[in-house]
Amino acid sequence: MALTERPGMAPLFLVSMATVGFEIALTRYFAVAKWSEYGYWVISIVLAGFALSGVVMALARDWFARHGTALLTVLPVLLIAAAAVGYHFVTTNPFNPLQLQNQATFGPQLYNIAGYYICLLPFFFLSGLYISLCFVLNDTQIGRVYGFDLTGAGLGALLALGLMTVVHPFQLLPCLLVPLFAAALFARRRRLAVGLAALVALAGGQALLLLGDAASFNDYKAIYAPLHVPDSRTVAEIRSPRGLYMLLDDFTERVDTDVSNNAGLLGLPGPPTSFGLYRDGNRLASLPRPGPVDAGYAAATLAALPYTLRPHPRVLLAGASGGFRIAEAQALGAASVDALEPEPVLRGALRQGLGESPPVTAGGTVRILAESPIAAVRASGPYDLIDISADFLDAAEANTSAFATEAIASYMKALTPGGIVSLPASIREFPAYAIRVLATARAALLQAGITDPAAHVLVYRSAWNVRILLSNTPFDAARIAAAKSFCDERSFDISYFAGIDVAAARANIYNDLPAVSFEEGEVTSGEGAHDAIADEAKPVLLGQSTESARAFDLSPITYDRPSFYAVLRLSQLGTILQRLELLPQAEIGPLVNLAVLAQAAMVALLVLAVPLLGGRRMRAGGPGVLRAILYFSALGLGFLFLEIFLIERASFYLNDRTSGFSLVLTGMLIFSGLGSMMEPRFKADPRRGIVIAVAVILAWGVLLLVGLQDFMLATLGLPWLARAAIVVALVAPASLALGLPFPLGLGRMGSGGFLPWAWGLNGAFSVVSTPLANLMALQLGYDRVLLAAMLLYVTCILAFPRLRKST
């Protein structure tokens, strides 16, 4: 079909920008108002909408081509309306994740999730239709179209992230309607009428979103109760791509630490009142009120024992807990404190204060540093005590790497003789978390050259938390006796030391901790006092199997498999679904990935069926259809596999998930867009282009598999800007190559129904790729995800589509 009028690229650029911006705005809404894991489930409809648009376009390609210019004129106006109305109904949806985890109440929540799909699918379907139509109407300029699509998406991500610094997360979408309005102004037909319609849609959408704003914190979020107690007030608020930070002043806020019930008998005060700092509605830390910090309670805390065993230590403190842990360390006699606070807002509160909370007095024996513990021990060791705060793990996603086998081994090598590493673990929900930290500690001690790990470990606990102490010299009788005395005075329990008699120790347990069977959902121990940690500590340290290991994945945490909370065995999915009400929020992620994968598989099957549904013209492709299925499916999987691998590695390197995500996402989109614009250079010999692109990707992948981890560790001490530049430099060459295979393959599909079908096929398998890659990383590690991506691109060479005539 000859087309006399081809659309310009500026509207496509703006539509792509707004689409990715809307996706990120939805991510922020769910992270603040609900839980981010469920937001990921709902937002998976984005690429599903793209895939479905490709199906519709493929089945009715001729009609869309005949009316293409008119549709491109009207679609931006419809997109404004669909975005505004869809987001409004998202914010009014009464979805409650806690009820979804209860078999008696989950039914209505499935309807609420379906409601999210109904609200969001129109926008992303229309957006996919717009982009797909641009490919059809510009079938001789595929590389150029794809380049504007990707670069627009990359800058849309940057725009959304930049807006988060000034705009409340609930108000992001009104700003993102403006690029759609601008796209409508580029209409080639009836410009005045379309402009007026777009203006009316924009004004109506803004009025609906700003005047009918129903977004708020759900009542199960940690911030909800303190935000609504009498006289509660917000004394500071920070808007950032990392989250919405709110500092609350109310009578419920106190220092969040594990203090002995015997503090009064010891003549020690209780923790003082404080401000409460929340991020996205979740409690992050306590911040001190004006005036001197009274840390007299420090000697009654669970974390105080190492300071008794190693008097006047030089301390590396990972996580300052708003400054209270620094005051505690000083009160316990620390000779010096290097306090690490990688979380930028917490670090800013320590250095400059936040709202009415004053800064921490540093200087002299106290340094406040931005490094991760891994970088700090390489730069500033040795230390007498490396103390990780109980809230450090949850302060930032990237902090999970501090609990990896390789990290703990590096801590052991940075200790002075007789030094101690103090690791926290919570037993509020699953004692298995503490057992997994023990298994990781054993692997780390072996890696550090200690042949008898069991002699170098001491474990003690309260009712809610465990401390695992590791030393580079065995814990001798004197230190064990001192630990027993410390715990007896504070009603803490010792769960393990070399030579412990577990049966005899049960007679003097202060905090009963019976074993719980996850399979049966009930306590399995008999009468009397119990210590489930003591029952399994020795076998774990000896490398033996335990009851928990049969129910949970207790494999050591590593840089390649850093997920701390992923202890559920997905092979026992039936049992997990029966015990949904017992699952902590942190364990929901893998189940959400499974749900998204199931949904994505159904969408992919629908797209795969298009050649069967599209009549004789589509079925005539024969073996060429099979090659196209392999090619575009592999592209959809491979691109996202590489993106997820790079985001994880960049997050580790920058010690910040948000920065890693931002740099990798925008870098890959923009450089891939630039790479796709090189497609005309290979029109004469497209197979040569795909071979060159895949060769670059494979060589780059091999270099990363062989040397990336060592390179990152060797350069962790560089300034953040230098490391960020290195991330961009690592992303750029592969991304340029990644931009070529899709337009090269799409150019072989002709201008008939196969072209939008291939577009939809790529979108459908992009939906599959994200949950599949996440699950692979949990089970096999991120290096296997990279290796799988490389194999997928090899498949692209073998399945490169044969030339198809235009229809």
Give 611-637 pLDDT, tens digit per residue.
Answer: 666 655 555 554 577 888 899 899 999
Per-residue pLDDT at 4 exceeds 50? no
Residue with tokens 């620390």: 334
pLDDT category of residue 5 using cuts at 50, 70 and 90: very low
Q: What is the structure's pLDDT at 524?
A: 58
- CATH number among 2.70.98.40, 2.60.120.10, 3.40.50.720, 3.40.50.150, domain 304-568: 3.40.50.150
pLDDT category of residue 328 using cuts at 50, 70 and 90: very high
Average pLDDT, rounded, for the chain? 88
Work out the average pLDDT over 316-332: 95
Q: What is the structure's pLDDT at 611?
A: 67
Name every residue whose Cβ is closer than 8 Å to that of residue 514 and which is 6 or more positions away in sequence.
523, 524, 525, 530, 532
Pair of tokens at residue 265: 């008998």
Instruction: Tell me the pLDDT tens digit for each residue of 723-742.
Output: 999 999 999 999 999 999 98
Question: Of 166-180, 183-197, 377-391, 683-697, which gets the smallest average pLDDT?
Answer: 183-197
Q: What is the structure's pLDDT at 615?
A: 54
DSSP string, 113-132: HHHHHHHHHHHHHHHHHHHH
Burial of 504 (0-12, 13-18, 19+ CB in 10 A): exposed
Pair of tokens at residue 513: 């901790």
How far is the C-alpha of 627 from the C-alpha of 632, rounded, in Å? 9
Question: Of 241-255, 281-295, 309-323, 596-610, which gets the smallest average pLDDT?
Answer: 596-610
Length of the chain: 807
Work out the average pLDDT over 491-510: 89
3 state DSSP class of 420: strand
Name every residue whose Cβ is closer than 8 Å to that of residue 85 and which is 6 or more positions away in sequence.
119, 205, 208
**So what's the architecture of 584-807 in CATH?**
Up-down Bundle (1.20)
Per-residue pLDDT at 459 exceeds 60? yes
pLDDT category of residue 520 using cuts at 50, 70 and 90: low
How much of the chain exceeds pLDDT 90, in percent? Answer: 55
- Nearest-CA neighbor of 153 among 674, 700, 741? 674
Beta strands in 205-349 (DSSP E): 233-240, 243-249, 275-279, 282-287, 314-318, 336-340
pTM: 0.91
Q: Which fold has domain 1-217?
A: Growth Hormone; Chain: A; (1.20.1250)
696-701 LR contacts (CB < 8 Å, sep 24+): 696/733, 696/734, 696/736, 696/737, 697/642, 697/734, 697/737, 697/738, 697/790, 697/793, 698/790, 698/793, 698/794, 700/733, 700/734, 700/737, 701/734, 701/786, 701/787, 701/789, 701/790
Q: What is the structure's pLDDT at 188?
A: 65
3 state DSSP class of 568: strand
Residue with tokens 């291939």: 758
Q: What is the structure's pLDDT at 377?
A: 92
Beta strands 493-496 and 465-471 are unpaired
Q: What is the structure's pLDDT at 414?
A: 95
How far is the C-alpha of 622 from the C-alpha of 766, rounded, in Å? 24
Q: What is the structure's pLDDT at 3?
A: 40
DSSP state of 557: P
Instruction: Please give the single-letter amino acid code of residue 28.
Output: R
DSSP string, 348-369: HHHHH-BTTBPPP--BTTEEEE
3 state DSSP class of 370: coil
Query: Do the beta carbons of residue 126 and residue 86 sit within 8 Å?
Result: no
Pair of tokens at residue 495: 């769960």
How much of the chain exceeds pLDDT 70, in percent? Answer: 94
Instruction: Tell me the pLDDT tens digit for each residue of 147-160.
Output: 999 999 999 999 99
Work out the average pLDDT over 692-714: 94
Query: Do the beta carbons of residue 773 and residue 643 sit within 8 Å?
Result: no
Which carries the bigger pLDDT value, residue 215 or residue 226?
226
Which H or E element spans position 422? strand 415-426
Burial of 386 (0-12, 13-18, 19+ CB in 10 A): buried
Name every residue whose Cβ is closer than 8 Å to that of residue 46 and which is 6 or more positions away in sequence.
19, 23, 120, 124
3 state DSSP class of 525: coil
Is the backbone peptide bond immediately before 108 cis, with ω within 30 degrees of 0? no
Residue 164: HSE in the Cβ half-sphere, 13 Å Cα cutoff? 25
Which carries the bigger pLDDT value, residue 298 or residue 749?
298
Residue with tokens 């379309």: 194
End-to-end C-alpha distance for the chain, whole angstroms: 7
Q: What radius of gyration, in Å, describes the C-alpha atoms of the chain?
A: 28
Name every residue whose Cβ is closer than 8 Å to that of residue 582 and which is 6 or more positions away in sequence.
518, 521
Per-residue pLDDT at 505 exceeds 60? yes
Per-residue pLDDT at 9 exceeds 50? yes
Q: What is the structure's pLDDT at 793?
A: 95
DSSP string, 443-462: HHHHHTT-S-GGGGEEEEE-
Two domains, one topology: 1-217 and 304-568:
no
Query: Do the beta carbons of residue 757 and residue 603 sit within 8 Å?
Result: no
| Helix axes 782-798 and 686-714, enclosed angle (nearest 10) | 170
Which sequence spans correspond to the domains of the chain? 1-217, 224-287, 304-568, 584-807
How far is the C-alpha of 62 from the C-alpha of 751, rounded, in Å? 10
Query: Do the beta carbons of residue 218 and residue 243 sit within 8 Å?
Result: no
Per-residue pLDDT at 453 exceeds 70? yes
Question: Of 27-31, 287-291, 564-568, which gets the smallest average pLDDT?
Answer: 564-568
How far is the C-alpha of 286 from the C-alpha of 4, rounded, in Å? 66
CA dist 683 → 53, 263, 630 (Å): 27, 78, 21
Name every residue whose Cβ is closer than 8 Å to that of residue 51 and which is 6 or more positions away in sequence.
128, 603, 604, 606, 607, 760, 761, 763, 764, 767
DSSP string, 272-309: PB-EEEEETTEEEEEEPPSS----GGGGGBGGGHHHHH
- Nearest-CA neighbor of 188 among 70, 16, 64, 18? 70
Which carries the bigger pLDDT value, residue 106 or residue 373?
373
Query: Do the beta carbons of residue 72 and residue 191 sit within 8 Å?
Result: no
Work out the average pLDDT over 201-210: 93
Q: What is the structure's pLDDT at 529?
A: 76
Task: Starting at the earlier edge strand, list the strands of the sheet with 243-249.
Answer: 233-240, 243-249, 275-279, 282-287
Q: What is the structure's pLDDT at 805?
A: 46
Burial of 380 (0-12, 13-18, 19+ CB in 10 A): middle
Say how many C-beta atoms besides its own lie within 10 A of residue 554's C-beta: 22
Instruction: Tell me the pLDDT tens digit for each residue of 367-412.
Output: 999 989 999 998 887 999 999 999 999 888 889 999 999 999 999 9
Most confident of 219-228, 588-597, 695-704: 695-704
Beta strands 336-340 and 314-318 are parallel
How far is the C-alpha of 243 from the C-alpha of 343, rounded, in Å? 11
Which carries the bigger pLDDT value, residue 140 or residue 298?
298
Pair of tokens at residue 141: 């300029």
Residues in a beta bridge with 314: 336
